[in-house]
Structure 1
Amino acid sequence: MELKQRINALTRLGNILGELSNDRAFHNLDLEFESILTKAQAENGWFTLENIKFALQNWSKTLTEENLTRWVSKYDFKSFSSENVKTVAIVMAGNVPLVGFHDFISVLITGNKVLTKLSSNDRVLLPFLSGKLIATEPDFENYIQFTEGKLKDFDAVIATGSDNTSRYFDFYFQKYPHIIRRNRNSVAVLTGNETEKELALLSDDIFRYFGLGCRNVSKLYVPQNYNFDKFFNAVYSWKEIINNHKYINNYDYNKAVYLMDSLPLLDNEFLLLKEDSAFSSPIAVVFYEKYNSDSDVLELLKEHSENLQCIVSNKPGINGIPFGKTQNPELWDYADGVDTVEFLLSLTRG
């Protein structure tokens, strides 16, 4: 397939996702799509209809001809050798819906073949979308394969997991060209001068997908004497999240553990704020840490850069992501700062 053919197919998939995820479609589900959604939720209780819909809508807005063309325009596809197509194994995570989809389409857009090992927590959505993609472009059928068994007959690997599993990946895949993704977290650096709108948008960065993604803000850096009242007022729009049984179980459990240890907490009845130097906060908890000066917080961010996926801030001197945008990455916003497309193209150059 030519590059333009692949772009056109992914553009058509974007249109299909737009049709599937609009309000009318979600209120009048066809039998096939309803079955897919039911199975996805049965496998993963965190995959609510709202979150699946959000993921599909995001990808429908991302997979446009304009975005796809801009994405690939910086790369040298002229040196691509169709005779040197590689099979790239992807070991998927399953914490949020379609979390590995960017890696999946990166392999396809570069003309390589993808061998996907799905997470047991997300085994339904990607094969469904793959079927839609193949229906729009049958040539992709020879480029897409899923496996439940041991990975074999591949040339390179992209694997995502925890810090513990990444050590296993490093050992197991050491002989192959690879990208190994580890635990990362996202933070927000606040000044105390944020508007109510900005803080309301920050609440989307915190609560979307129940905070389970690496792009979710799990920690706040705040100045000394920061007043959290304005923050709590702004995030109140997410109060209904406490009605999710899995979320409230985590909220109650973590609150009980902290109170038994007599740890000071800030609590608005659906979110706990705990002062802590760590980055990875439990579900229903956001850590915060106070800073004394701009230079202090900049040094902290620099020191922990390898632990950070996104930094949300409007603070001068910080190359931050705008409030409310962590779950809306562009195609060229690569996880961990690793250029996936360049890595994949390097495999096929003669």
Structure 2
Amino acid sequence: MKVDYHIHLEEGPYSFSFLEKSLQAIERFEPNKELRHSKDWLYESIEKINRRLAEGELSKWWLDLYLQEALNKGIKEVGIVDHLYRFKETEAYFRRFMDVSSSETGVKQAEWLEKVMVRNLDEFVCFIHSQKEAWKAKGVQLKLGIEADYFVGGEAELKSLLAGYDFDYVIGSVHFHQGWGFDNPQLQEKFCEHDLIQLYEGHFETVKMAAKSGLFDFIAHLDNMKVFKHRPNEGSLLGMYTGVAKALVENNVGTEINPGLYYRYPVKEMCPSPQFFDVLVKEGVCFTMSSDSHFPNDLGIYSDQIKTMLMEKGITEIATFEKRKRVMKPL
């Protein structure tokens, strides 16, 4: 069985690249019949983009494109999430732990947060729940998740933010190091200010604390610190990998095989790396499958390869989630 438990419906900032990728996604399912780059083609393209912007990502039309792709690729369970920082209710949480000072980094991050924090959490939760039965009728289980940034010291506040919502699962993720969003392309030069060994030690200590927090069902993209190809020799990281794996097992927290960095970022490597994957398997960590897609045409991307990777390691079950309970199902 193939599943995909890490799928986004939208992500800012809202550039022309966002428009281009949105149009490409729509045209996969609703091809433009006009001669490409003719005026009629452009008019039809504008109509489609206008519909996408007018209806937003929380529309049945947009979500149904994800359903079509799940059916095309044989994905039996689909988990829709959004980044916690997309929701206005979480502004105080992120401003507390992100660098939003008057420094160059702080100014850029404050501007970024303003651009991406555009939604209300209730709207998202209610919409996904409202579509579950329609998906079930088509033979696909739709699950509701959230991807929540973990900050050391923010456990109580995060728990409060998540309380009262009927999530099927909560993903923990680490995108920040001491307030710096290290996967932000505008801030990647800051890697040069750090000793990489110390940087990775700090990152993986945060990942372990996330696993121990009791807040998460699985931790996303464990080694996403490598996003812009800044990584020391992996031999120096093996002990850290083992420490993370043991923390996951001891706290009954899983992880994912996530191809997002492979097809969207300079490092062009899945999370976890092959060596990290070997360590996680050896220690008995449980896995789910994901795409980290932000557009419907990327749902389930590389799912066949991921399934093969798992089976070649002797893994016969995959983690799925229902009402915050992990259910292992045959791969």
**Common topology (TM > 0.5):** no
Normalising by the smaller structure, the TM-score range is 0.3 to 0.5
TM-score, structure 1 normalization:
0.31
Q: Report which of the two structures shows the higher radius of gyration computed on alpha carbons.
A: 1
TM-score, structure 2 normalization:
0.32
